[in-house]
Protein backbone atom coordinates (compact mmCIF):
# COMPACT_ATOMS: atom_id res chain seq x y z
CA UNK A 1 0.00 0.00 0.00
CA UNK A 2 1.41 3.45 -0.87
CA UNK A 3 1.10 6.24 1.64
CA UNK A 4 -1.06 9.24 0.68
CA UNK A 5 0.25 12.79 0.81
CA UNK A 6 0.43 14.24 4.28
CA UNK A 7 0.60 10.83 5.93
CA UNK A 8 3.57 10.78 8.21
CA UNK A 9 5.67 7.69 8.43
CA UNK A 10 6.21 6.74 12.05
CA UNK A 11 9.99 7.06 12.00
CA UNK A 12 11.95 6.09 15.06
CA UNK A 13 9.07 4.37 16.84
CA UNK A 14 9.27 1.15 14.88
CA UNK A 15 12.23 -1.11 15.23
CA UNK A 16 14.38 -1.36 12.14
CA UNK A 17 13.77 -4.32 9.84
CA UNK A 18 17.14 -5.74 10.85
CA UNK A 19 16.31 -5.69 14.56
CA UNK A 20 16.20 -9.19 16.08
CA UNK A 21 12.68 -10.52 16.51
CA UNK A 22 11.26 -10.75 20.01
CA UNK A 23 10.32 -14.09 21.54
CA UNK A 24 6.66 -13.19 20.96
CA UNK A 25 7.27 -12.55 17.27
CA UNK A 26 9.06 -15.86 16.74
CA UNK A 27 6.67 -17.94 18.85
CA UNK A 28 5.32 -20.91 16.89
CA UNK A 29 2.31 -22.41 18.66
CA UNK A 30 1.82 -26.17 18.73
CA UNK A 31 -1.77 -27.01 17.96
CA UNK A 32 -1.36 -30.73 17.37
CA UNK A 33 -2.90 -33.06 19.92
CA UNK A 34 -2.45 -36.73 20.77
CA UNK A 35 -5.50 -38.63 21.99
CA UNK A 36 -5.23 -42.30 22.97
CA UNK A 37 -1.87 -42.51 21.20
CA UNK A 38 -3.23 -41.05 17.94
CA UNK A 39 -1.64 -37.77 16.82
CA UNK A 40 -3.91 -35.20 15.17
CA UNK A 41 -2.11 -32.41 13.28
CA UNK A 42 -4.73 -29.95 14.54
CA UNK A 43 -7.63 -30.27 17.00
CA UNK A 44 -10.48 -29.78 14.51
CA UNK A 45 -12.56 -32.71 13.27
CA UNK A 46 -15.76 -32.99 11.26
CA UNK A 47 -18.72 -34.36 13.26
CA UNK A 48 -20.35 -37.64 12.33
CA UNK A 49 -23.35 -37.42 10.01
CA UNK A 50 -22.53 -33.92 8.80
CA UNK A 51 -19.68 -34.76 6.42
CA UNK A 52 -20.74 -37.99 4.74
CA UNK A 53 -17.78 -40.36 4.31
CA UNK A 54 -15.39 -37.48 3.55
CA UNK A 55 -15.07 -38.01 -0.20
CA UNK A 56 -18.27 -36.01 -0.86
CA UNK A 57 -16.34 -32.90 0.28
CA UNK A 58 -13.08 -33.62 -1.57
CA UNK A 59 -13.77 -31.02 -4.26
CA UNK A 60 -15.05 -28.47 -1.74
CA UNK A 61 -12.22 -28.20 0.82
CA UNK A 62 -8.68 -29.53 1.31
CA UNK A 63 -9.39 -32.61 3.42
CA UNK A 64 -5.70 -33.00 4.28
CA UNK A 65 -5.91 -29.90 6.46
CA UNK A 66 -8.50 -31.45 8.79
CA UNK A 67 -7.43 -32.95 12.11
CA UNK A 68 -9.82 -35.85 11.50
CA UNK A 69 -12.93 -36.92 9.65
CA UNK A 70 -15.57 -38.68 11.75
CA UNK A 71 -17.63 -40.60 9.28
CA UNK A 72 -21.40 -41.15 9.30
CA UNK A 73 -22.50 -43.71 11.91
CA UNK A 74 -21.86 -47.27 10.71
CA UNK A 75 -23.85 -50.34 11.74
CA UNK A 76 -23.08 -54.01 11.19
CA UNK A 77 -25.76 -54.17 8.46
CA UNK A 78 -26.71 -51.37 5.98
CA UNK A 79 -29.67 -49.17 6.99
CA UNK A 80 -32.09 -47.18 4.79
CA UNK A 81 -32.96 -44.47 7.34
CA UNK A 82 -36.26 -42.65 7.91
CA UNK A 83 -38.66 -41.39 5.22
CA UNK A 84 -38.66 -37.61 4.48
CA UNK A 85 -39.13 -34.97 5.76
CA UNK A 86 -36.17 -35.66 8.01
CA UNK A 87 -34.47 -32.26 8.27
CA UNK A 88 -35.98 -28.97 9.42
CA UNK A 89 -34.24 -25.63 10.00
CA UNK A 90 -34.98 -24.01 13.37
CA UNK A 91 -33.92 -20.70 14.95
CA UNK A 92 -30.11 -20.95 15.22
CA UNK A 93 -30.12 -24.66 14.51
CA UNK A 94 -31.63 -27.65 12.78
CA UNK A 95 -33.63 -30.74 13.61
CA UNK A 96 -32.71 -34.05 11.97
CA UNK A 97 -34.06 -37.56 12.09
CA UNK A 98 -32.06 -39.18 9.30
CA UNK A 99 -32.50 -42.52 11.01
CA UNK A 100 -28.83 -43.50 10.88
CA UNK A 101 -28.87 -44.34 7.15
CA UNK A 102 -25.54 -45.95 6.22
CA UNK A 103 -23.83 -48.46 3.91
CA UNK A 104 -23.01 -50.98 6.65
CA UNK A 105 -19.61 -52.05 7.96
CA UNK A 106 -18.61 -54.37 5.07
CA UNK A 107 -19.32 -51.87 2.30
CA UNK A 108 -17.66 -49.13 4.36
CA UNK A 109 -14.42 -51.14 4.29
CA UNK A 110 -14.50 -51.82 0.57
CA UNK A 111 -16.13 -48.62 -0.80
CA UNK A 112 -15.29 -45.78 1.61
CA UNK A 113 -12.15 -46.58 3.59
CA UNK A 114 -9.72 -46.85 0.61
CA UNK A 115 -10.23 -43.15 -0.14
CA UNK A 116 -10.02 -42.08 3.52
CA UNK A 117 -6.73 -44.02 3.81
CA UNK A 118 -5.11 -41.72 1.23
CA UNK A 119 -5.62 -38.63 3.42
CA UNK A 120 -3.40 -37.04 6.06
CA UNK A 121 -6.50 -36.37 8.17
CA UNK A 122 -7.17 -39.11 10.72
CA UNK A 123 -10.17 -41.37 10.19
CA UNK A 124 -12.60 -41.91 13.08
CA UNK A 125 -15.41 -44.38 12.48
CA UNK A 126 -18.66 -43.67 14.32
CA UNK A 127 -20.30 -46.96 15.35
CA UNK A 128 -23.82 -47.73 16.56
CA UNK A 129 -26.19 -50.63 17.19
CA UNK A 130 -29.43 -51.59 18.87
CA UNK A 131 -27.90 -54.18 21.19
CA UNK A 132 -24.47 -54.64 22.72
CA UNK A 133 -23.96 -57.58 20.37
CA UNK A 134 -24.68 -55.23 17.40
CA UNK A 135 -21.89 -52.86 18.50
CA UNK A 136 -19.44 -55.73 18.98
CA UNK A 137 -20.33 -57.31 15.62
CA UNK A 138 -19.87 -53.99 13.82
CA UNK A 139 -16.49 -53.42 15.49
CA UNK A 140 -15.34 -56.94 14.69
CA UNK A 141 -16.02 -56.34 10.99
CA UNK A 142 -14.37 -52.88 11.04
CA UNK A 143 -11.29 -54.27 12.84
CA UNK A 144 -10.32 -55.74 9.48
CA UNK A 145 -9.87 -52.26 7.98
CA UNK A 146 -6.48 -50.59 7.73
CA UNK A 147 -6.50 -46.81 8.00
CA UNK A 148 -9.02 -46.50 10.84
CA UNK A 149 -7.46 -44.51 13.71
CA UNK A 150 -10.25 -44.76 16.31
CA UNK A 151 -13.85 -45.72 16.88
CA UNK A 152 -16.42 -43.27 18.16
CA UNK A 153 -19.31 -45.08 19.87
CA UNK A 154 -22.66 -43.39 19.34
CA UNK A 155 -24.53 -44.44 22.47
CA UNK A 156 -27.61 -42.28 21.75
CA UNK A 157 -29.39 -45.38 20.47
CA UNK A 158 -32.23 -47.32 22.06
CA UNK A 159 -31.39 -50.83 23.24
CA UNK A 160 -34.16 -52.93 21.71
CA UNK A 161 -33.50 -55.74 24.20
CA UNK A 162 -34.06 -53.40 27.18
CA UNK A 163 -37.46 -52.08 26.04
CA UNK A 164 -35.96 -49.24 24.02
CA UNK A 165 -34.01 -47.74 26.94
CA UNK A 166 -31.39 -45.44 25.39
CA UNK A 167 -27.80 -46.59 26.11
CA UNK A 168 -26.50 -43.11 26.74
CA UNK A 169 -29.23 -42.24 29.25
CA UNK A 170 -28.29 -45.01 31.64
CA UNK A 171 -24.84 -45.38 33.26
CA UNK A 172 -25.25 -49.15 33.68
CA UNK A 173 -26.10 -49.73 29.99
CA UNK A 174 -23.32 -47.28 29.02
CA UNK A 175 -20.80 -49.27 31.03
CA UNK A 176 -22.00 -52.54 29.46
CA UNK A 177 -21.72 -51.38 25.84
CA UNK A 178 -18.42 -49.53 26.35
CA UNK A 179 -16.74 -52.49 28.15
CA UNK A 180 -17.86 -54.95 25.44
CA UNK A 181 -16.83 -52.61 22.60
CA UNK A 182 -13.46 -51.84 24.17
CA UNK A 183 -12.77 -55.56 24.57
CA UNK A 184 -13.55 -56.17 20.90
CA UNK A 185 -11.84 -53.09 19.46
CA UNK A 186 -8.49 -53.13 17.68
CA UNK A 187 -8.38 -49.30 17.71
CA UNK A 188 -8.93 -46.75 20.54
CA UNK A 189 -12.53 -46.15 21.62
CA UNK A 190 -14.00 -42.67 21.98
CA UNK A 191 -17.44 -42.67 23.63
CA UNK A 192 -19.83 -40.02 22.28
CA UNK A 193 -22.13 -38.96 25.10
CA UNK A 194 -25.83 -38.11 24.83
CA UNK A 195 -26.83 -34.74 26.28
CA UNK A 196 -30.37 -35.96 27.01
CA UNK A 197 -29.56 -36.68 30.64
CA UNK A 198 -29.88 -34.90 33.97
CA UNK A 199 -26.23 -35.43 34.91
CA UNK A 200 -23.72 -35.88 32.08
CA UNK A 201 -20.96 -36.81 34.55
CA UNK A 202 -22.73 -40.10 35.41
CA UNK A 203 -22.36 -41.55 31.89
CA UNK A 204 -18.95 -39.88 31.51
CA UNK A 205 -17.68 -41.67 34.62
CA UNK A 206 -19.32 -44.94 33.57
CA UNK A 207 -17.54 -44.73 30.20
CA UNK A 208 -14.19 -44.04 31.82
CA UNK A 209 -14.67 -46.91 34.30
CA UNK A 210 -15.48 -49.26 31.39
CA UNK A 211 -12.20 -48.42 29.64
CA UNK A 212 -13.07 -45.59 27.22
CA UNK A 213 -9.93 -43.95 25.82
CA UNK A 214 -11.64 -40.57 25.35
CA UNK A 215 -15.06 -38.91 25.34
CA UNK A 216 -16.77 -36.77 22.72
CA UNK A 217 -19.74 -34.60 23.66
CA UNK A 218 -22.39 -33.76 22.81
CA UNK A 219 -24.70 -35.54 20.42
CA UNK A 220 -28.02 -33.86 19.49
CA UNK A 221 -30.80 -32.86 21.91
CA UNK A 222 -34.19 -34.48 21.38
CA UNK A 223 -36.60 -31.87 20.00
CA UNK A 224 -39.79 -31.37 18.02
CA UNK A 225 -41.28 -28.79 15.63
CA UNK A 226 -44.89 -28.52 14.49
CA UNK A 227 -46.38 -26.98 11.34
CA UNK A 228 -49.37 -25.18 12.85
CA UNK A 229 -51.20 -24.69 9.53
CA UNK A 230 -51.05 -28.38 8.72
CA UNK A 231 -51.26 -29.27 12.42
CA UNK A 232 -48.62 -31.88 11.69
CA UNK A 233 -45.05 -32.61 12.76
CA UNK A 234 -42.26 -31.03 10.68
CA UNK A 235 -40.33 -34.31 10.78
CA UNK A 236 -41.83 -37.65 9.78
CA UNK A 237 -40.26 -39.32 12.81
CA UNK A 238 -42.05 -36.77 15.07
CA UNK A 239 -39.05 -36.22 17.35
CA UNK A 240 -35.61 -35.28 16.01
CA UNK A 241 -32.12 -34.25 17.13
CA UNK A 242 -31.47 -30.53 17.63
CA UNK A 243 -28.00 -29.26 16.65
CA UNK A 244 -26.29 -25.98 15.69
CA UNK A 245 -25.51 -22.71 17.51
CA UNK A 246 -28.67 -23.01 19.66
CA UNK A 247 -27.12 -25.87 21.66
CA UNK A 248 -23.63 -24.42 22.17
CA UNK A 249 -23.99 -22.93 25.68
CA UNK A 250 -25.49 -26.16 27.02
CA UNK A 251 -22.76 -28.22 25.34
CA UNK A 252 -19.99 -26.00 26.75
CA UNK A 253 -21.47 -26.39 30.24
CA UNK A 254 -21.51 -30.18 29.82
CA UNK A 255 -17.87 -30.25 28.67
CA UNK A 256 -16.93 -28.12 31.67
CA UNK A 257 -18.70 -30.49 34.10
CA UNK A 258 -17.23 -33.57 32.43
CA UNK A 259 -13.71 -32.12 32.59
CA UNK A 260 -14.09 -31.86 36.38
CA UNK A 261 -15.32 -35.48 36.58
CA UNK A 262 -12.94 -37.59 34.43
CA UNK A 263 -9.25 -37.83 33.54
CA UNK A 264 -9.57 -39.06 29.93
CA UNK A 265 -9.40 -36.54 27.02
CA UNK A 266 -12.56 -34.75 25.90
CA UNK A 267 -13.59 -33.73 22.38
CA UNK A 268 -16.09 -30.83 22.43
CA UNK A 269 -19.06 -30.71 20.03
CA UNK A 270 -22.11 -28.50 19.70
CA UNK A 271 -22.83 -25.48 17.53
CA UNK A 272 -19.21 -24.66 16.68
CA UNK A 273 -19.03 -22.21 13.76
CA UNK A 274 -15.92 -20.15 14.56
CA UNK A 275 -12.54 -20.36 16.29
CA UNK A 276 -13.99 -18.42 19.25
CA UNK A 277 -16.72 -21.07 19.61
CA UNK A 278 -14.10 -23.82 19.56
CA UNK A 279 -11.93 -21.98 22.10
CA UNK A 280 -14.88 -21.83 24.51
CA UNK A 281 -14.94 -25.64 24.48
CA UNK A 282 -11.15 -25.82 24.86
CA UNK A 283 -11.10 -23.43 27.82
CA UNK A 284 -13.93 -25.48 29.36
CA UNK A 285 -11.82 -28.65 29.12
CA UNK A 286 -11.84 -30.09 25.58
CA UNK A 287 -8.50 -30.81 23.87
CA UNK A 288 -10.13 -31.14 20.44
CA UNK A 289 -13.43 -30.16 18.81
CA UNK A 290 -15.82 -31.30 16.10
CA UNK A 291 -17.73 -29.11 13.66
CA UNK A 292 -21.15 -30.43 12.61
CA UNK A 293 -24.14 -28.39 11.42
CA UNK A 294 -21.91 -25.56 10.12
CA UNK A 295 -20.62 -27.93 7.40
CA UNK A 296 -24.05 -27.76 5.73
CA UNK A 297 -24.00 -24.00 5.11
CA UNK A 298 -20.24 -23.22 5.23
CA UNK A 299 -18.14 -26.33 4.53
CA UNK A 300 -14.86 -24.44 4.94
CA UNK A 301 -15.71 -23.88 8.64
CA UNK A 302 -13.44 -26.62 10.10
CA UNK A 303 -10.40 -25.18 8.24
CA UNK A 304 -11.28 -21.64 9.33
CA UNK A 305 -11.65 -22.83 12.93
CA UNK A 306 -8.22 -24.54 12.86
CA UNK A 307 -6.57 -21.41 11.41
CA UNK A 308 -8.29 -19.22 13.98
CA UNK A 309 -7.15 -21.41 16.87
CA UNK A 310 -3.56 -21.21 15.63
CA UNK A 311 -3.78 -17.44 15.22
CA UNK A 312 -5.21 -17.09 18.76
CA UNK A 313 -2.42 -19.25 20.22
CA UNK A 314 0.19 -17.17 18.41
CA UNK A 315 -1.38 -13.93 19.65
CA UNK A 316 -1.50 -15.23 23.22
CA UNK A 317 1.92 -16.98 22.97
CA UNK A 318 0.52 -20.29 24.19
CA UNK A 319 0.43 -23.84 22.90
CA UNK A 320 -3.02 -25.40 22.47
CA UNK A 321 -2.64 -27.81 25.38
CA UNK A 322 -1.87 -24.93 27.75
CA UNK A 323 -5.40 -23.67 27.16
CA UNK A 324 -7.30 -26.86 27.95
CA UNK A 325 -9.59 -26.29 30.95
CA UNK A 326 -7.93 -22.96 31.71
CA UNK A 327 -11.08 -20.88 32.10
CA UNK A 328 -10.46 -18.22 34.77
CA UNK A 329 -12.98 -18.68 37.54
CA UNK A 330 -14.39 -15.29 38.49
CA UNK A 331 -16.44 -16.78 41.30
CA UNK A 332 -17.60 -20.21 42.35
CA UNK A 333 -20.08 -21.66 39.88
CA UNK A 334 -23.53 -22.47 41.17
CA UNK A 335 -26.13 -19.71 41.34
CA UNK A 336 -27.36 -18.69 37.91
CA UNK A 337 -29.86 -16.01 38.94
Ligand X SMILES: Cc1cc2nc3c(=O)[nH]c(=O)nc-3n(C[C@H](O)[C@H](O)[C@H](O)COP(=O)(O)O)c2cc1C
Interface residues toward ligand X, by CB under 6 A = 47-50, 72-73, 94, 96, 98, 100, 126, 154, 192, 219-220, 243-244, 247, 269-272, 291-293
Nearer to ligand X, 136 or 269 (CB): 269
Task: Name which of 29 and 167 has its Cβ closer to ligand X.
Answer: 167
Residue nearest to ligand X (CB): 49
Q: How far is the CB of 243 from ligand X (least distance, A)?
A: 3
Q: Half-sphere exposure of residue 18, counting CA atoms within 13 Å on the CB side?
A: 0
Q: Closest distance between ligand X and the C-beta of residue 247, in Å?
A: 6
- Among residues 65, 72, 73, which one has the least CA distance to residue 40? 65
* Cβ closest to ligand X, residue 100 vs residue 109: 100
Q: Which is nearer to ligand X, 29 or 121 (CB)?
A: 121
- Min dist CB 70 to ligand X, Å, is 7
CB of 80 to ligand X, least distance (A): 14
Annotated catalytic residues are 157
Give 29 or 248: the residue with its C-beta nearer to ligand X.
Answer: 248
Smallest distance from ligand X to CB 118, Å? 23
Strands across the sheet containing 87-90: 87-90, 93-96, 240-243, 221-223
Amino acid sequence: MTKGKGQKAKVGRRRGSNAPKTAKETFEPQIDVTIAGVRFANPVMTASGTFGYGQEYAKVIDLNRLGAICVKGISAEPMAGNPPPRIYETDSGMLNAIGLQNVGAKRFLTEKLPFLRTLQARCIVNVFGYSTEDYVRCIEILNGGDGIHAYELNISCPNTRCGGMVYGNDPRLTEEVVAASKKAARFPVIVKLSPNVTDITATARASEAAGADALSLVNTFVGMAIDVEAQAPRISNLTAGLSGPAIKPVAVRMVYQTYQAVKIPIIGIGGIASAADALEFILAGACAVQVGTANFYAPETPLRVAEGIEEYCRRKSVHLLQLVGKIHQVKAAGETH
